Structure 1
């Protein structure tokens, strides 16, 4: 019997150790959004663009602070490049905040840690887009436009050009130059997407708050709901009165006709 108890205790200890090890491993993965797979992918393909999205539930009184802390961590960063793209903070019955930014891969982990500290991560995802083909296509287009531009410049320098030819060459040259500048802008945008990760952070109020908070909110809205209900009731009565009068007149008329018919019989 004692032997069986000892085996039972050993089994329980082993089971607890396995569970703790699994939890420890899970925590480590959650705390490192970059991951070894991403690092190896970046090394093998420099044209990958990453978009990280994370949703955080947090106490309502902390949203403003975490919102500001995350923005400050980006704008005041010195060891990595970070650019704020979009911010939005909405107040009302339920406060919520949204931050969209671009940050160097080495700064992603820090930004996410600051934004999630004190809250609960409810959803996290990473989307990877391969931009190798768009970058190469853009490069081919720029080379073609540059070649065409150089040819037009050579034609423009010829001494035997008349005014009509010079006007046509200048018009075509301006068109090619505009297309080249557009292609260079597109290339810069593609390179930025591969060098800076997009991070979307969504702050939401915790789904379950104190027992009294929904009740307090209902009490605050009571007077508004009451006045709205009274106004809608008055409007309904206003719509019903003409129909009520019409029905009464119709009943009196039918009663009169029925009595006349009955008297004749």
Structure 2
């Protein structure tokens, strides 16, 4: 069965994006109700000890790739180190897998923020279906012309080119419909891992001492470089003014 065949008809009214998830428990996945065409997306921020961020990234990534909590696709992953390490995973998972995967990712840490919003795909689904029906109508018309016996070779070649172009457009429409259906049946989940650290002003000052010294020395050198041409020009002028002042005072 073609992907577009499973898409229902356009709903006359859509639902508004879902509000932020209330406190308590892990983030819940969202599934479309009958007549809705909402693509749900979740953003979760998890605070962990710095040394655990890499471990949680690996375990959450593996849980997704092995479909531990249902069908899941990893869309992106990134990690940064340093004084404030950070990591992020972007994945698409079935609604029932959002909660257990979030619990796994936040185990031993704190889920500091979470939000959910949705994009209404009703118009896009309807437009895609109408375009598909229009292309099918054109295809049936061309097939009727092909059955005629009075067509010249040039006409047959032109019909063949038109049929090939229609097939390409139909394949593109089918791929787009499949992608829309995937967005409707799964949830986009972005997990951001952060760490907290104590801000020590004295330690920070010592850590920046070398950089500040280098930067200050460079600024002094630049200042001298900019001032040297002026000194070369002004020095003879200053000597002339000094001699003139002496003559005036002697008189």
Match of 1:184 in 2: 174
* Higher relative contact order, chain-length normalized (CA < 8 Å, sep 6+): 2
- Report the CA distance between 1:81 and its aligned residue: 0.4
1:243 matched to 2:243? The reply is no
Match of 1:200 in 2: 190
Distance 1:92 1:158 in 2: 74
- The answer to whether the 8 Å contact 2:50/2:195 transfers is yes
- Report the CA distance between 1:187 and its aligned residue: 0.7
Distance 2:114 2:198 in 1: 26
- Report the CA distance between 1:242 and its aligned residue: 1.8
Match of 2:149 in 1: 159
Distance 1:264 1:174 in 2: 106
- Report the CA distance between 1:153 and its aligned residue: 2.8
- Report the CA distance between 1:183 and its aligned residue: 1.2
The alpha-carbon distance between structure 1 residues 45 and 251, as it changes in their structure 2 partners (threshold 3 A), is farther
Distance 2:181 2:205 in 1: 51
Distance 2:98 2:113 in 1: 16
Distance 2:22 2:37 in 1: 27
1:106 matched to 2:100? The reply is no
- The answer to whether the 8 Å contact 1:56/1:123 transfers is yes
TM-score normalised by L of structure 1 = 0.76
178-187 or 224-233, which moves further after superposition? Answer: 224-233
Distance 2:43 2:94 in 1: 15
Give the superposed CA RMSD: 2.7
- The answer to whether the 8 Å contact 1:46/1:194 transfers is no
1:147 matched to 2:134? The reply is no
The alpha-carbon distance between structure 1 residues 93 and 29, as it changes in their structure 2 partners (threshold 3 A), is closer
- Report the CA distance between 1:221 and its aligned residue: 4.5
Match of 2:25 in 1: 31
The alpha-carbon distance between structure 1 residues 243 and 124, as it changes in their structure 2 partners (threshold 3 A), is same
Which structure: greater helix fraction?
1
Q: Which has the larger radius of gyration?
A: 1
Distance 1:142 1:97 in 2: 42
Match of 2:126 in 1: 136
- Report the CA distance between 1:139 and its aligned residue: 1.2
Match of 2:213 in 1: 226
Distance 1:256 1:159 in 2: 114
Where does the alignment leave 5 or more consecutive residues of structure 2 unmatched? 1-20
- The answer to whether the 8 Å contact 2:41/2:118 transfers is yes
- Report the CA distance between 1:67 and its aligned residue: 1.2
TM-score normalised by L of structure 2 = 0.80
Where does the alignment leave 5 or more consecutive residues of structure 1 unmatched? 1-26
